[in-house]
């Protein structure tokens, strides 16, 4: 038997999905093990192997592809627990990283801090001033050497940093992306003088203008480099010694995987890659189900992550903000908030209002009901108290939940607000569901997209419990729980369904009318580089796919819009029509009529996405089964004003075309799907649960009132 395996590590759980060469799919869910995440990774492999009746070594020996999404780099940056880092840059420009952009004091801040200028602060420096070294060198905008590199100064800078105990050195010179001769030389000097020091060059990461953003990227890559590289190599070694014979593949933020050695050298591109697997998997399933427009929402234990699929393709972004640092990085456009199953419910003492998140109980101690020492109430405690979760079958019965502990945790907040514990729990869920709907609304409306045109794909362990309510809040008509129980480990399945992906860029400002010959020359070079790299990684031409993109703007604008470019040999007509494609995409983002073609159009960055298609078996259809025997328990429904006896259907017995009407609970081994009154659904041929959300009683009353008022 041959296996294909994806593993995704989150802040609370580590998920594993395996597909064999017959199309059978299995999943496993284990607790994450911070700070030693490699233990959780190996635990997940052990558990999935046991489900197959194998040892971990036997399983790895039969595994053809092992793909992994990791949050190690993201966690190091968010927690500011990276390596002791130095920076070498052009003389006179040592303050670029410290000055930031003018919005650096507020970049990426949550709304509650953004509205209070007194709370705006610059982030803690990744590289403090005393570890920033300037050396004499200068290139002009065309890449010609204006001032030769002073190697004596470079050697002195390296020596001083090494004597200071740095573990990593970032190198960023002006115009180094046009001509990397000086950056490469200083890198060689570092490797000669301090071979154990991690070294990062800006031109290897970012190939376009933006002194601060490129310097920030190089510094962040160095800051997280040693820990991420150590983790990746540790996992790679453990799996290789355990019997796995192929290269370990690591998920990147751009939506594909790369070999472990590439990820170890460029850990920057793993930042934010955790949620990417879920959106990648959603795009794959959306093609199968014929859904061109999808809002993909991953509600795990720590966060709620949202990505958008519009017109059949995930939306992308070229800029990332983490810890207020802004840097360039091609990535899927995914936004996150602290609204997960482990998000803590708390009372704001100043406003005397209840809040949910962003702080999370994490894997340890976890929600109060886990019985691991947690005492503060979480979203999971509220779901349990309202009867949504079965305390005896949570996570397949492996984790028994304590209802009394959940009630005890929420009682202090309920007492402060003059509410019963159940009322407070329902109020907390309303808050978290509204927060999630607001994020999805921002991700669509602010991009000129109507959420009513989208289907919501809800996954992650807690997604199914809240999907109908936040979809109703958003105005969406349909929710899909992907592949049923596999929704709880969907990001791991998405990682497994990913392809090897490399992004190649060229920066050059070209105004319209665009010369077709010049465009062909640039794209031919980028594509040749991409194909050569994929050939070295073992891909034949029939498994290589290349997509072209261009960052375009009107003259005198700063921000650019990414626009697709046709493949093949471009004609002058193709080059002329590129302006029309840009205007169409621009007005999609900023509104009909917002374009100003008379200003002139420019291309600033040429980009190629090159994919090496991995061969994995197709997902098998499920069979019809006899209607399952439903149990019953009391569940709190806000539409019904309290607890109500509710059918509970065991999810493992759901066959194709099974239909249901709310109120009902679908109790799957690793997740729970809550179907409130007014909603109904079915199970499709692949096992996905498709729910028509209908309207809540509140929405129906509001609609009736509005109708009466309009006829008065």
In a domain, 647, yes or no: no
DSSP codes, 373-401: S--S-BHHHHHHHTT-S-TTTGGGGTS--
Same domain, 215 and 86: yes
Last residue in a domain, options 427, 443, 463: 427
Question: Mean pLDDT across the stretch 435-462?
Answer: 90
Per-residue pLDDT reduced to its tens digit, 599-622: 999 999 999 999 999 877 677 788
Last residue in a domain, options 583, 612, 641: 612
Same domain, 382 and 350: yes
DSSP state at residue 629: P
In a domain, 640, yes or no: no
Q: What is the CATH number of the domain that holds 563?
A: 3.30.1490
Two structure tokens written together for 106: 């507020």
Per-residue pLDDT reduced to its tens digit, 392-437: 877 767 778 999 999 999 999 999 999 999 999 999 999 999 999 9
Per-residue pLDDT reduced to its tens digit, 361-395: 876 788 999 988 889 999 999 999 999 999 987 77
What are the C-alpha distances in Å from 143 to residues 173, 175, 176, 187, 523?
A: 11, 7, 8, 18, 20
Same domain, 65 and 96: no
Two structure tokens written together for 523: 């794209």
452/445 Cα distance (integer angstroms): 10
Same domain, 251 and 131: no
In a domain, 248, yes or no: yes
Helix spans in 373-515 (H): 379-385, 403-417, 421-445, 463-474, 490-496
Count: domains in the chain: 4
Question: Mean pLDDT across the stretch 172-178?
Answer: 93
Per-residue pLDDT reduced to its tens digit, 510-530: 999 999 999 999 999 999 999
Q: Phi-psi category of 663—alpha, beta or left, where left has phi over 0 and alpha has psi -120 to 50? A: beta
Predicted pLDDT at 315: 87
Two structure tokens written together for 470: 């936040």
Last residue in a domain, options 164, 186, 221: 221
In this prediction, residue 108 has a pLDDT band, given cuts at 50, 70 and 90, of low
In a domain, 464, yes or no: no
In a domain, 605, yes or no: yes
Same domain, 213 and 250: no
In a domain, 255, yes or no: yes
Give the three-state DSSP class for 478. Answer: strand
Please give the backbone phi and psi of residue 642, each rounded to the nearest 5 degrees, phi first. Answer: 160, -160
What are the C-alpha distances in Å from 529 to residues 202, 258, 354, 518?
A: 19, 16, 55, 17
675/464 Cα distance (integer angstroms): 9
Same domain, 60 and 106: no
Same domain, 52 and 87: no
pLDDT at 545 over 70: yes
* Contact yes or no for 539/615 (Cβ under 8 A): no
171/173 Cα distance (integer angstroms): 7
Q: What percent of the chain has pLDDT over 70?
A: 96
Q: What is the CATH number of the domain that holds 239?
A: 3.30.420.40
488/495 Cα distance (integer angstroms): 14
Same domain, 522 and 599: yes
Same domain, 91 and 214: yes
Same domain, 387 and 257: no
Same domain, 147 and 204: yes
Predicted pLDDT at 194: 96
pLDDT at 696 over 70: no
Domain that residue 409 falls in:
343-427
- Averaged confidence pLDDT in the chain: 89
Long-range contacts of 208-212 (CB under 8 A, 24+ apart): 208/177, 208/328, 208/505, 208/507, 208/551, 208/604, 208/605, 209/177, 209/507, 209/604, 210/328, 211/93, 211/96, 211/172, 211/174, 212/96, 212/97, 212/99, 212/100, 212/101, 212/326
Please give the backbone phi and psi of residue 239, each rounded to the nearest 5 degrees, phi first. Answer: -75, -35
Question: Mean pLDDT across the stretch 145-160?
Answer: 96
Q: Smallest Cα–Cα separation from 506: which of 550, 465, 542?
A: 550
In a domain, 700, yes or no: no
In this prediction, residue 700 has a pLDDT band, given cuts at 50, 70 and 90, of low
Largest CA distance in the chain: 86
In a domain, 132, yes or no: yes
pLDDT at 328 over 90: no
């Amino acid at each position: 038997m041959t296996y294909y395996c994806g593993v995704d590590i989150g802040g609370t759980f580590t998920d594993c999905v395996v597909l064999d060469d017959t199309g059978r799919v299995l999943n496993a869910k284990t607790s994450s093990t911070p700070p030693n995440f490699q233990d959780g990774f190996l635990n997940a492999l052990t558990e999935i192997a046991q489900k197959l009746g194998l040892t971990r070594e036997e399983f790895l020996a039969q595994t053809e592809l092992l793909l992994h999404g990791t949050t190690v780099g993201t966690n190091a940056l968010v927690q500011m627990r990276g390596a002791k880092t130095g920076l070498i840059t052009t003389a006179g420009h040592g303050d670029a990283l410290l000055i930031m952009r003018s919005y650096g004091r507020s970049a990426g801040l949550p709304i509650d801090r953004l509205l209070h200028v007194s709370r705006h602060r610059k982030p803690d420096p990744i590289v403090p001033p005393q570890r920033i070294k300037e050396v004499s060198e200068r290139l002009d905008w065309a890449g010609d050497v204006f001032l030769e590199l002073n190697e004596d100064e470079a050697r002195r800078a390296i020596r001083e940093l090494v004597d200071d105990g740095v573990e990593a050195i970032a190198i960023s010179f002006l115009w180094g992306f046009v001509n990397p001769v000086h950056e490469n030389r200083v890198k060689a000097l570092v490797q000669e003088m301090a071979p154990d020091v991690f070294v990062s060059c800006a031109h290897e990461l970012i190939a376009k203008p933006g002194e601060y953003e490129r310097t920030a990227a190089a510094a962040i890559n160095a800051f997280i480099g040693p820990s991420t590289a150590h983790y990746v190599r540790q996992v790679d070694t453990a799996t290789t010694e355990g019997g796995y014979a192929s290269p370990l593949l690591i998920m990147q933020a751009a939506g594909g995987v790369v070999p472990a050695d590439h990820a170890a050298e460029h850990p920057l591109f793993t930042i934010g890659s955790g949620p990417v697997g879920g959106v990648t998997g959603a795009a794959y399933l959306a093609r199968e189900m014929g859904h061109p427009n999808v809002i993909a929402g991953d509600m795990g234990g720590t966060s709620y992550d949202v990505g958008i699929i519009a017109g059949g393709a995930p939306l992308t972004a070229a800029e990332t903000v983490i810890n207020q640092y802004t840097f360039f990085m091609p990535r899927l456009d995914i936004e996150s908030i602290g609204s997960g199953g482990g998000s803590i419910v708390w009372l704001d003492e100043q406003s005397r209002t209840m809040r949910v998140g962003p702080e999370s109980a994490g894997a340890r101690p976890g929600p109060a009901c886990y019985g691991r020492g947690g005492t503060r109430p979480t979203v999971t405690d509220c779901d349990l108290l309202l009867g949504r979760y079965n305390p005896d079958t949570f996570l397949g019965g492996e984790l028994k939940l304590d209802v009394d502990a959940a009630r005890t945790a929420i009682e202090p907040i309920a007492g402060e607000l003059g509410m019963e514990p159940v009322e407070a729990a329902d109020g907390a869920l309303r808050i978290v569901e509204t927060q999630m709907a607001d994020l999805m609304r921002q991700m669509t409306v602010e991009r000129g997209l109507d959420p009513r045109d989208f289907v919501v794909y809800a996954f992650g362990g807690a997604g199914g419990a809240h999907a109908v309510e936040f979809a109703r809040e958003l105005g969406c008509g349909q929710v899909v729980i992907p592949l049923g129980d596999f929704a709880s480990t969907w990001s791991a399945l998405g990682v497994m369904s990913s392809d090897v992906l490399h992004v190649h860029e060229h920066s050059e400002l070209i105004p319209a009318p665009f010369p077709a010959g010049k465009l062909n020359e640039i794209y031919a070079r980028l594509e040749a580089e991409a194909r050569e790299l994929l050939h070295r990684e073992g891909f034949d031409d029939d498994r290589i796919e290349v997509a072209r993109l261009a960052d375009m703007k009107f003259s005198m604008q700063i921000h650019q819009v990414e626009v697709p470019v046709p493949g093949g040999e471009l004609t002058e007509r193709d080059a002329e029509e590129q302006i029309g494609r840009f205007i169409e995409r621009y007005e999609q983002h900023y509104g009909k009529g917002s374009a100003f073609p008379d200003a002139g159009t420019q291309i600033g960055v040429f980009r190629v996405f090159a994919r090496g298609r991995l061969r994995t078996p197709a997902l098998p259809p499920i069979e019809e089964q006899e209607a399952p025997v439903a149990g019953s328990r009391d569940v709190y429904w806000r539409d019904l004003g309290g607890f109500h006896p509710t059918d509970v259907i065991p999810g493992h017995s759901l066959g194709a075309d099974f239909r249901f009407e709310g109120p009902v609970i679908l109790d799957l081994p690793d997740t729970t799907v809550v179907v409130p009154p007014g909603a109904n659904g079915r199970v499709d041929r692949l096992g996905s649960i498709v729910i028509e959300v209908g309207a809540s009683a509140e929405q129906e009353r509001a609609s009736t009132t509005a109708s009466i008022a309009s006829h008065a």
